Amino acid sequence: MTDREIELEQEHVTGLYARVDALRERALAGSEDADAAAVRRAEVERLAAVEHGLCFGRLDMADGRRVHIGRMGLFEGDEALLVDWRAPVAKPFYTATAAVPEGVRRRRHITTRGREVVALDDELLGSGGDGDVLVGEAALLAAVTAERTGRMPDVVMTLRAEQDRIIRDENRGVLVVQGGPGTGKTAVALHRVAYLLYRHQHLRGRGVLVVGPSRVFLEYIGQVLPGLGENSVVTSTVVGLRPDLVVDRVDPPEVAEAKGRIGMAARLAAAVRERVVVPDHAVAVEFEGQVLEVTPAEWEAAVGKGKASGLPHNQGRLVFEREVVEVLAGRLVEGMEGVVLDDGGEALDGGDADGRLSAADLRGLAAAGVVVGEDLGPRALLDEVDRGLLRDSLLADGGLREVLEGVWPVLSAAEVVGGGGAWSGDSGSEASWSAADVALVDEVEALIGGGRVVFGHVVVDEAQELSAMEWRMVMRRCPSRFMTVVGDLEQTGSVSGASSWGEVLGPFVGKRFEVAGLSVNYRTPVEVMEVAGAVLAAHREGVVVPRSVRVGGEVPWRVLVERGEVVGWVGRFDGAVVASDGVVEELCRGLPGRVVLTAREAKGLEFDSVLVVDPVGILGGRTGVSDLYVAMTRAVRRLGVVCVGEVPGELMGMVEFGG
C-alpha cells in the first residue's frame, strides 16, 4: 500500500476528528439548565467513547461511490462524512464476498493508533479493480491474535458474515445465540444491542438490560457498548436485579438445585395463600362503644371477593378490606336509620318497624317548612358523603385493622421467604440470603404485588446457567419477551442449568424462539481446542466443538505435582489461574495479586495465558466435565495444566512439561 494512500486516508480521518471536536465543544457550551446539562454530559461521554477507532473502513462501490464506515454517523449538510456501521449502506462491509460482492469493488480496513492512520488493508471483490493487492483475512487475524488487555475488545471492525446476520436479525421475539468457546457470541450479542438501539429508537425510552454471570464479567465487557456509541444500557448479574438483598451465605449444591426447580413457584404461591386464614366463628369488633360482629359466612364472602379479583396478595387485601368495612358500615347505618325522633328531635325507643314517617311526623315537618313529597317511605338520615366518612373511620380504627391483619395480613417478600435457609429446612437460622434465595424473594414479590423496573429488550449471557426460578425472575423484567439469549449448552456448569433451550424457554414463549448458531472459533487456538475437545469427547458421544481458524504455535502442556507443591509450581508461571474449589483459597493466600478463579467465575472471560490447577478436583464436581472444558478454553495463547496427585485419563494425551 503506497504512502500516498495512507496520506489521503489521514486527511479524511483528520477531518472526521475535527468534526467530533466541534460537536464536543458545542455540547460543552450549552445551556446550564439541569436537564440540558445531563443531556450534554451524555453526549460528551458518547463522543469520548468513540474516539478510538472512529473510522475503520471504506467501501468503494462499483458505481463510483465511496463510503467510509465508523462507530457513528457524521455529516456536513447532506453529505455523509462517516456512515454508522449499523446503517444499511454499511452492511456489505461485513457480508460482501468475491462470489457475491453486493456492488462492492473494494473493501478497505483502516487501522488507526490514536488519530493517526497506521495501516490499510484492501480486499478486491468486484470487477474493475485498480491493481491493489488482495490481503484477505489479515485484519481479522490481527484482531484475534492481539494481546488481551483485561477488557473485551469490540469486533465491529472484523465482524464476519455469520455474526453480522445475527446482529441484524429482525426477530422481535427471543433469539438464541448458541456457540462454543471463542465464537464471539457475547460480542455478537452486544453489537446486536447497539444495532437494535439504532434501528428501533423506541428502545431508548424503554431501556435495555444486559444480564451477565458475574460482576467480573460485566466489568470485562464494560467498554464494548460505549465504544459502539451506546452508553445508556443497564448491566447486572441475576442476583444484582435485587440490590435490596445482600447475599452472604452459600447453599450446598443440592439445596441450590432444589430452590431453582420450577416446583418452587407453586410452593411459594401456596405459602402466600396460606397466610389468609378465614375465621370459622363470628368475630366481634368494637367501634366507638358499639360491638359489631362479622359472621363466618361474611368472612368467607369477603375473602372470596378478594381472591376472585385476581390481584396480587396485597392489592387483593384492599378488596377484602373494603368488603368487610362495607358489612360493618351497613350494620352501623341500619342501627342509625332504625332510630325514630320525637317532635323535639330526641331519639325514642321503638318507632315504626320499617322506619316510615308517621302522620304526626309529617305534620311536624310541614309546620317547620320542610316540603315532603308524595313518597312517604323511609328517609335515609346519612347521605353518601356521610357513609364515606363512616367507612374511613372504620378503616382508621386500630382494633379493626388488627382483626383484618389477622385474617388477611399485608406481606413482605422477605418475610415469606424468611432467609437463613428457611426453604431448606433450616428456618431457625439468623436471617441471611444465598444466591438461590434471590429468585425466591422476587417470585414472592410478584405474588404480593411489589413493583419492578421492566425493559424493552433484555440480553441474557451465559444463559445456560440460569435455574428455572431465575428464568422467571428475568422474564418478569421483559413483558414483551423481546430478548437475546446467549449461551452454550456444552458449557452448562450449574446443577440447575439448562440441557435444552426449549426446556427453559418453552414455559414462557412456547415454540416462538429461534436459535442462531455460531460455528467458527476465532479466539481459541487449534492446539487448545484439541485437548479441550478431548475432555468433552470422552464423556459425550458425538459432541462437535467449534472449528478454530488459527494455529497458536504453543503446545499445551501438563505437569503432575504433589499437593504441597501447588503454590510453588503455579508461582513459576504468568497468567490467570482457574482452579478447583478445593485449592482456590490456598492459591489466593499464597499468590496475592494473581487472578485466581473457579471455572464458574471464569465463564465468558479470556486470557492470554491460563493455568488450570487440579483438574481431578474440577472433574469431581457435579458439572465437572463442563467446568474443565470451560477452564481450558479461557486461554487465547498458552495453556498449562497443573495436575495435583493424579493425572485424569482425559488429559493423558497432553504433552508433559519438560522445562
The pLDDT score that the predictor gives to residue 83 is 97
**Block residue for cell numbers 493517526:** 116
The answer to whether 186 is annotated as binding is: yes
Q: How far, CA to CA in Å, does 473 sit from each of 239, 316, 563?
A: 10, 22, 42
Asked if residues 619 and 511 have their Cβ atoms less than 8 Å apart, the reply is: no
Name the DSSP class of 288: T
Percentage helix, strand, coil for the chain under 3-state DSSP, each rounded to 5: 45, 20, 40
Asked if pLDDT for residue 452 goes beyond 70, the answer is yes
Asked if pLDDT for residue 28 goes beyond 50, the answer is yes
Asked if pLDDT for residue 378 goes beyond 80, the answer is no
Report residue 294 as a C-alpha cell.
Answer: 362479622
Q: What are the structural domains of the chain?
A: 3-146 (no CATH), 174-250+260-268+449-520 (3.40.50.300), 276-407 (no CATH), 526-656 (3.40.50.300)
The values of phi and psi at residue 300, to 5°, are -60, -40
CB atoms within 10 A of CB 658: 6
**3 state SS of 578:** strand
342 band by pLDDT with thresholds 50, 70 and 90: very low
Asked if residues 495 and 256 have their Cβ atoms less than 8 Å apart, the reply is: yes
Beta strands in 96-170 (DSSP E): 104-113, 116-124
The pLDDT score that the predictor gives to residue 550 is 83
Q: Is the dihedral of CA 476, 481, 483, 489 positive or negative?
A: positive
Q: What is the pLDDT of residues 83-112, one digit of tens each?
A: 999 999 999 999 998 899 999 999 999 999
622 band by pLDDT with thresholds 50, 70 and 90: confident
The answer to whether 179 is annotated as binding is: yes
343 band by pLDDT with thresholds 50, 70 and 90: very low
356/338 Cα distance (integer angstroms) = 10
- In this structure, of 61-65, 71-75, 389-393, 582-586, the range with the lowest mean pLDDT score is 389-393
Asked if residues 432 and 249 have their Cβ atoms less than 8 Å apart, the reply is: yes
Report residue 120 as a C-alpha cell.
Answer: 490499510
The pLDDT score that the predictor gives to residue 152 is 77
Length of the chain: 659
- In this structure, of 111-120, 442-451, 492-501, the range with the lowest mean pLDDT score is 492-501
Q: What is the pLDDT of residues 133-159, one digit of tens each?
A: 434 445 665 666 666 666 777 788 888
Report residue 153 as a C-alpha cell.
Answer: 475488545
The pLDDT score that the predictor gives to residue 387 is 80
140/238 Cα distance (integer angstroms) = 33
131 band by pLDDT with thresholds 50, 70 and 90: very low
Q: Is the dihedral of CA 617, 522, 83, 150 positive or negative?
A: positive
Q: What is the pLDDT of residues 212-267, one digit of tens each?
A: 999 999 999 988 998 888 888 999 999 999 999 999 999 998 999 999 999 999 99
Query: How high is the mean pLDDT of the chain?
Result: 88
Asked if pLDDT for residue 579 goes beyond 90, the answer is yes
Q: What is the pLDDT of residues 536-554, one digit of tens each?
A: 999 988 888 888 988 887 9
The answer to whether 658 is annotated as binding is: no
Q: What average pLDDT does range 168-186 have in this prediction? A: 93
Report residue 616 as a C-alpha cell.
Answer: 481431578
Measured in whole angstroms, the distance separating CA 30 from the mean position of its chain's CA atoms is 35
367 vs 165: which has the higher pLDDT: 165
Three-state SS annotation for 14-75 = HHHHHHHHHHHHHHHCCCCCHHHHHHHHHHHHHHHHCCCCCEEEEEEECCCCEEEEECCCEE
pLDDT more than 90, % of the chain? 66
Q: What is the pLDDT of residues 43-64, one digit of tens each?
A: 898 899 899 999 999 999 999 9
The answer to whether 633 is annotated as binding is: no
Asked if residues 554 and 635 have their Cβ atoms less than 8 Å apart, the reply is: no
The pLDDT score that the predictor gives to residue 232 is 82
The answer to whether 180 is annotated as binding is: yes
643/611 Cα distance (integer angstroms) = 10
Q: How far, CA to CA in Å, does 230 sit from each of 75, 148, 227, 520?
A: 19, 23, 7, 27
Asked if residues 256 and 435 have their Cβ atoms less than 8 Å apart, the reply is: yes
93/164 Cα distance (integer angstroms) = 10
Asked if residues 499 and 490 have their Cβ atoms less than 8 Å apart, the reply is: no
The pLDDT score that the predictor gives to residue 517 is 94
